Chains A and B, each alone.
Chain A
Amino acid sequence: MEIKVIKNILEANEVIASQNKRLFEDKGVYVVNLMGSPGAGKTTLLEKTVKHLIDKKRIAVIEGDIATSRDAEKIAAHGVPTLQINTGGACHLDGNMVRGGLKEFNFENIDLLFVENVGNLVCPAEFRIGEDDKVMIISATEGDDKPLKYPLMFQVSSLLLLNKVDLLPYIDFDLERFRNDAIRVNPRLEILTISCRTGEGLDNWYRWLEEKINRKRD
């Protein structure tokens, strides 16, 4: 006997992600889901951003990793509430893992919650966690062919940060081609070029972020 079901397989996650999102809406917290490969510069970007914004905005951070609490220790050293979630093998964070960590924060006193996802260019793209925006960071050294090889992550992201652009003179990275491919994969994608090492372009990123936070608070 055949039974009709017709359900989104990830429905359970969608429900929890929506509950998380409602909580963030209530409290006026702007939430970024930061995704990218291992080594793209996620944690370094977070450190820079926390340092820059700490006097202006109230920030909290969730660090997702398969194992270790190294990243959380790095961020916590800057004096912001930080929670490490170890996925114990899972290649991505999901709504439920994030929900489990939310009680650790007092969202009355938070403007911005950064969630650093597990380093991975595929899996995190499929799982909503209740974020306002997915921000993707990719380093120039990963190659200019990534929009074609990993289109889904480009498609679900609002903003793409191309990091390590200070290395462009030394590598074969066709910025024009990369931009064109990224835009054709996701016509709504905003793209900023940055270098966390030299600081190039980071002001544009801070401005983008502050605008989003302010809009959410209003």
Chain B
Amino acid sequence: MHELAIAQSLLKIVEQEALPFRGARVTRIKLRIGKLSAVVPDALRFAFEVISQGGIAEGASLEIEEVPLRLRCHQCKEVFVVEGPFLICPHCEGLDVEMVSGRELEIKSMEIEDGN
């Protein structure tokens, strides 16, 4: 449900970044979203579609890359990709782990088309 708030933040960043390119249209936006973030991609797409209407990013597609959950185990001194949601070392089953990735909510890049 908070996808609307996330879409609004995203649109603000997109509009700001597109500011130097007068008359341009944003056609595609690449995002990185961590596996453990509580974002539903379809809900985010829908929210973005609605709020971007009439603006420079109207009709832009959201390309979402899911970032895997990676844990560094301090015992094994190794980084593992795990399914989650448990934060346990898959090797030694220890709890002395640190999340390396998996909570991302990032915009990576955007594709713009010249308006001229």
Contacts and interface: CB of A to CB of B under 8 A. Distances in A.
B110 A126 contact: no
Nearest to A1: B112
Given A151-B85, A184-B86, A185-B85, A7 B13 contact: yes
Contact of A1 (B1, B84, B111): B111
Interface in B52-101: 84-88, 95-97
B6 A9 contact: yes
Contacts of A127: 2, 5
Contacts of A92: 2, 5
Given A1-B111, A1-B114, A9-B6, A148 B85 contact: yes
Contacts, number: 99
- By secondary structure, the B interface counts as mixed
B38 interface: yes
B112 A123 contact: no
A91 B87 contact: no
Given A8-B106, A126-B38, A94 B13 contact: no
Interface of A: 1-13, 90-92, 94, 120, 122-123, 125-127, 147-148, 150-152, 155, 181, 183-187
